[in-house]
Amino acid sequence: MASDVLPNSVDTDIGPGLDKAPTGVRGLDQITGGGIPRGRVTLVAGSAGTGKTLLGLEFLVGGIREQGEPGVLVTFEESAAKVSANVRSLGFDLDALQRDGLLAVLSFQVDPAEIVATGEFDFEPLFLILGDAIARVGAQRIVLDTVEVLFGAFGDDSTVRGEIGRLARWLEDRGVTAIVTGERAGKMLTRHGIEEFVSDCVIVLDQRVREEIATRHLQVIKYRGSAHGTNEYPFLISARGFTVLPVTSMGLDYHVSEERIPTGIARLDHMLGGGLFRGSTGLVTGMAGTGKTSLGAYLVDAACSRGEQAVLALYEESPEQVLRNMRSIGLDLRRWVDAGLLRVWASRPSAYGLETHLAELAQLVDEVTPSVTVLDGITGLTHGASAPAVTSMVSRQLGLLKDRGITTLATGLSDGAETSTVSVSSMVDTWLQLRNTEQGGERNRLLSVLKSRGTAHSNQAREFVLSDQGIELVDVYVGAEGVLTGSARMGQEAATRDAEVRQADGLNRHRRELRRSIAEREAHLAAVQDQLSAEQAEIDQLDRRERHQVADSRADRMAMGRQRWADAAPGDRGQRDDGGQRTDGGQR
């Protein structure tokens, strides 16, 4: 739990020696860097019904259970039995703690109607009985709720004031850590100004009604010697008690998992590089009717299919309606509900204040311990509250789930731009956007991954097709006419196929023509080759004939020469073996 982890990281204690007593109130110890000043008096001021008494009781019970510090409760407003009964539903058994000697409860009814004041008095009996109770249980903590009722009852308020001041010092002398509660009145911190006796720590509780929905806030307005969160922190009073929700407590030290969990849509997993990281936070935004809930339902369905627990929190629709609608896209969530794996929980935004929504969610996830939680329709919460308040609440919801290592997908309306009405996009790990495109008289859905931390993810939009077969992601047609979806995509795909066929036909024709041409040219080439060969042959023949003629004519001449005993003809000199003879003979 956050409160176990965070005091170290948030502790901004500037007084190194300042000893703090953890209050045991979830969240408060984080704001105060470890608790309220030990051995000092802390004032908790607030108007009626803001939870002052409960804060005090948590402080006492937390001290007993977690710190081993017994305590004393002094109540001036309700009987001990009534206080005990009031907190039994929170799991505080004050009677048992009293039997075990860890708690003393003193109650005093101060009824001005039965008191007549005449003359000097003091509160010595109160001191005596407190001293006795402190000694009896070995108390280290004490809560006085609300000492202000003493004013007006004894006639002489200056004596009462003096006695309360004396009581504060007396408690500090005993080293007990005390909480005194005071009633706020108008601009006064407390009706009777008892803050003047409390110099160390003042906490103010406040309840505001906005848009007819109550929201509680806690603020530490003074903490001597210590840094502290000065904001107004929302707090809840739920069946789990008093919980302060410091926004800063969304520590950044949560466990980080490398494990991917499937979204239930294989192609989406692929787009995200394998699915969502376990324990990460996802956001799906989109206009109305873009299929956000369906996407969430798939994630839940996938988790339950793996045998994991899941929570589907609905802020806009009823469980029955969502179960029916999901059945229409082929998703049977009811079987998971029946199997006890899925908890579908609906909360009307206008039913409670934001803090209550948060508290109920916290309670639910602590009870179910889901691995996956889908918050469907977070923007619906803005019906009852201002957008910043919802943003703050949703971030705390997401933080709370993240702290617990729960994979979360929140869905919300967006106005079409890459923004979310509830601006939590900066704190989510994965942001999917669903978009409607209108083309050719029909609306189609596009899904794109706007961000996915730690993941190489697809930058291309997919068409998100919802049918009774479920969700299908289809590649969009990106062409000269832009991104096409739906019928236009199908038309374009058909047109493309046609064009391809046509193109193929053309190519074949051209190919055939070329082949024919080649064949023709080859034939032609062969003919030319034949002609060349014939001509060459003729040349050869001519050569041969010439040589024969020369040889014949020489033989004829020689024959004639021999006939006539003629000298060798000048042209025959080279033919003779003996050159000398021939030269001589030539000169002769």
Partner 1 sequence: MSQPLRGDDGTGNAADSDGTWDLRLYVTDRSPKCLRAIENLRRACEEHLAGRYRIEVVDLLEDPRLGAGDQILAVPTVVRKLPSPMRKIVGDLSDTDRLLVGLDLRPPRPTAT
Q: Which residues of this chain interact with partner 1, rule CB under 8 A?
A: 106, 108-110, 114-126, 128-129, 131-132, 150, 154-156
Least distance (Å) from partner 1 to the CB of residue 190?
A: 19
Nearer to partner 1 by C-beta: 154 or 254? 154
Long-range contacts of 267-271 (CB under 8 A, 24+ apart): 267/462, 267/472, 267/473, 268/295, 268/432, 268/447, 268/473, 270/458, 271/449, 271/457, 271/458, 271/462, 271/473
Least distance (Å) between residue 162 CB and partner 1? 12
Joined tokens for residue 382: 């803005």
User: Residue 443: which region, alpha, beta or left (left: phi > 0; alpha: psi -120 to 50)?
Assistant: beta
C-beta of 110: minimal distance to partner 1 in Å?
A: 7
Could you give the count of Cα atoms lying within 13 Å of 238 in the half-sphere of its Cβ? Answer: 22
Residue closer to partner 1, measured from CB, 104 or 354: 104
Structure tokens at 548: 């024969």
What is the closest distance, in whole angstroms, from the C-beta atom of residue 353 to partner 1 in the complex?
37
- CB nearer to partner 1: give 150 or 401: 150
Q: How far apart are CA 64 and CA 94, in angstroms?
A: 11
Using the minimum distance from each CB to partner 1, give the nearer residue, 29 or 148.
148
Contacts 24+ apart (CB under 8 A), 66-69: 66/22, 66/24, 67/21, 67/22, 67/24, 69/21, 69/139, 69/140, 69/141, 69/177
Question: Which element (helix H / strand E) includes 7?
Answer: helix 2-10
Q: Which helix (H) or strand (E) holds 236?
A: strand 232-238
Residue 110 or 221 with smaller CB distance to partner 1: 110
Minimum distance, C-beta of residue 124 to partner 1, in the bound complex (Å): 4
Closer residue to partner 1, CB minimum distance, 25 or 160: 160
Tokens of 541: 């023949």
Nearer of residues 118 and 587 to partner 1, judged by Cβ: 118
In the bound complex, what is the minimum distance in angstroms from residue 133's beta carbon to partner 1? 9
Min separation Cβ 149 and partner 1, Å: 10
Distance of CA 468 to the CA centre of its chain: 29
Looking at the Cβ atoms of 104 and 310, the one nearer to partner 1 is 104
CB of 157 to partner 1, least distance (A): 13
Q: In this structure, are strands 241-244 and 41-46 parallel, antiparallel, or unpaired?
A: unpaired
| DSSP code at position 151 | T
